[in-house]
Amino acid sequence: MKQVTLSIPDKKYPLFMELINSLEYVKMVAPEDEPTKEEVLSGIKQAFNEVAQIKAGKLKSKPIKDLLNEL
């Protein structure tokens, strides 16, 4: 089995996916590097909760230098 990585313009993506999904011999594998909508929303919600906890004094904040070093 061969694998192919493609870059598709956003405006053409729905049509491309419709075409690919119509081919019975193509197996789609979700890209691992792109989070789902649910994962993004969950991350944002967690970030807001952490900010609220820091403001309430329940969580200690990190210096920006430490945060950047983690990246």
Domain ranges for the chain: 10-70
The rounded radius of gyration (Å) of the Cα atoms in the chain is: 20
Triad 9, 11, 12: Cα angle to 5°? 65
* pLDDT tens for each residue of the chain, 71 residues long: 788 888 999 999 999 989 988 998 988 776 666 778 898 999 999 999 999 999 999 998 888 888 888 87
